[in-house]
Homo-oligomer: A and B are copies of this chain.
Amino acid sequence: MAEPGRSARVVPSARVQEKRRRRRREILQAALRAFRQRGYHETTLEDIAARLNIRSTALYYYFPDKEAILHACHREALEEVEHILAEALRRYSAAPDRLGFVISEHVRVMTDSLEGTPLALDTTSLSPSHAAQVIARRDRYENAVRGVIDEGIAAGVFRAVDSKVAAFVIFGAINWIARWYRPGGSLQPAELGARFADYLTGGLTCR
C-alpha cells in the first residue's frame, strides 16, 4: 500500500522508469559475470555492488537477496530463448530453418551477451519453488524444440532419429559453451552460432 504522502513516487516518470530498468539490467549482468567467475556461492552482494561502483544497500531497492537475483537471471534467460523460438516459428515454416535459427540464436545469447548462460547453471541454488518453476519452463522450451525435430521427421526432411536424444545433444553442446567460451576470443558469436547450426542440423538432414 502506498502512503498518501509518497504517492508521487508510486508512479515514477517514464525517464525514471527507464533508468531503473537499465540499472536492474546492469545488476543482473554484473551478477551473472560474478557468478560465472567466482561461482554463485562464493559471490556476495558486496562483490556485485563493487562491480557497479554502488553500495550493496542500493541493490536492495531492486532485489531482496542474492537468490532473487539468480532467479531473475534465470527468468530473463528463459524469456530470451522463448522469444527466439517464437521468432523461429513466425519467420520460417520448414523444420531445418526453424531448428537452425533456434540453435544459432541460442548460441548467440550464450556468447554475445552471456545472457543465455543461466540456462547452463545448476538450479540447486534456487529456492525449491523457484527451481521447480525454472525447470518446468526450461522443459517446455526444450520440448518445443524437440517438437520442431519431430515435425521435420514427420515431414521427411529429417532422418528418423530419437528426437529426445537429439535434443539432449543440442542443448548439451549449447549449454557447455558456458564452460569454455571466453568473450573476445577468435570465434565470433554469430560465426559460432552458424557453425553449431550447420553441424547440428546437418546431423538430421542427411540420408
Q: Which residues of A contact B (CB under 8 A)?
A: 41, 122, 159, 161-162, 165-166, 168-177, 179-180, 187, 192, 195-196, 198-200, 202-207
Q: Is A172's CB under 8 angstroms from B176's CB?
A: yes
Nearest residue, chain B, Cβ from A206: B206
Which residue of the partner chain, among B166, B168, B176, B180, contacts A180 with CB atoms under 8 Å? B168
Q: Which B residues lie within 8 Å of A177 (CB)?
A: 168, 172
Cβ contacts under 8 Å, A205 to chain B: 206-207
Can you give 17 contacting A-B residue pairs, CB < 8 Å? A41-B41, A122-B179, A161-B195, A161-B198, A165-B187, A166-B199, A170-B173, A172-B173, A172-B174, A172-B175, A172-B176, A172-B177, A199-B203, A200-B203, A202-B203, A205-B206, A205-B207
Identical subunits present: 2
Task: With both chains docked as a complex, state the minimum distance between the C-beta of A151 and any C-beta of chain B, in angstroms.
Answer: 17
Assess the B200–A169 pair: CB atoms within 8 A: yes
A-B interface, 3 closest residue pairs, ranked by CB to CB distance from nearest: A206-B206, A172-B176, A203-B203
Residue of B159, B161, B169, B198 near A173 (CB, 8 A) is: B169
Residues of B within 8 A of A192 (CB): 165
Which of A41, A173, A179, A195 counts the most B-chain CB atoms under 10 A from its CB? A173
Partner of A171, one of B171, B176, B207: B176
Most buried by B among A172, A175, A187, A206: A172
How far is B168's CA from A132's CA once the two chains are assembled, in angstroms?
A: 30
Bound Cα distance A122, B41 (Å): 15
With A171-B176, A172-B173, A176-B171 known as contacts, the answer to whether A165 contacts B207 (CB < 8 A) is no
Q: Are B195 and A159 in contact (CB under 8 A)?
A: no
